[in-house]
Amino acid sequence: AEKIFLRDGYAGATVRKIAEDVGLSATALYMHFPDKRAMLMEVGGMAIETLLAESEAIAASDADPLERMHGIMWAHMRFALANRAIYQLIFNETPREFSGQPGRERDLAGAYYRTFAGVMIELARADRLHGRSPHLVAQTIFCGCHGLVISLITNPSFGFLEPDELMATLVEGLTRGLIAEPGVTAQT
């Protein structure tokens, strides 16, 4: 299923194509998955589990919350660039498939966001967010990271500068503008 989703996108994938690829009849495949959405949820769940585990480990470290936020940002962007097709499929082409539906994948996506936002909440408690809400800052930073990597993934012929340099500039620029350094109280 993952191979077909990556090759044909969610809209182009069919249960029949997936069944043919694994050597089953569509009827046999339906015994394991009720529809192609369930197959996508399995593929997406595995990708989000990987990213969540890395982010949780970073968030649980003893480092300053700003350093942990940098680590989570880098982990997100590196995951995206190391898994370009699955990242684009899960985070860009089919986010509606995850939203509003109960299940493991939605729970994982929520846990990933809570991990990201939890570090922001720590920074807010230390008065380091320049008077902004932790969720506003978390969502802004997430959107910045996602926007950069999805641009690199979907528009490779643009002539972007070195990805690591772009990511470092994004991390520095977003955090410098939104988060005060350790030992410094934010200005409002």
What is the per-residue pLDDT across 96-146, written as a single tens digit (0 to 9) for each?
A: 655 566 666 678 888 999 999 999 999 999 999 988 999 999 999 999 999
Contact indicator for 178, 144 with CB cutoff of 8 Å: no
Per residue in 159-185, pLDDT (tens digit) is 999 999 999 999 999 999 898 887 766
Alpha helices in 25-161 (DSSP H): 26-30, 36-59, 65-82, 84-87, 95-98, 104-125, 134-154
Q: Report the pLDDT averaged over residues 32-52.
A: 83
**For helices 36-59 and 104-125, angle between their N-to-C axes, nearest 10 degrees:** 30
pTM for this predicted structure? 0.83
Q: Rounded to the nearest 10 degrees, how much is the dihedral formed by the CA atoms of 175, 181, 186, 187?
A: -80
The residues near 18 (Cβ < 8 Å, ≥ 6 apart) are 1, 4, 29, 36, 39
Say what the pLDDT of residue 120 is: 95
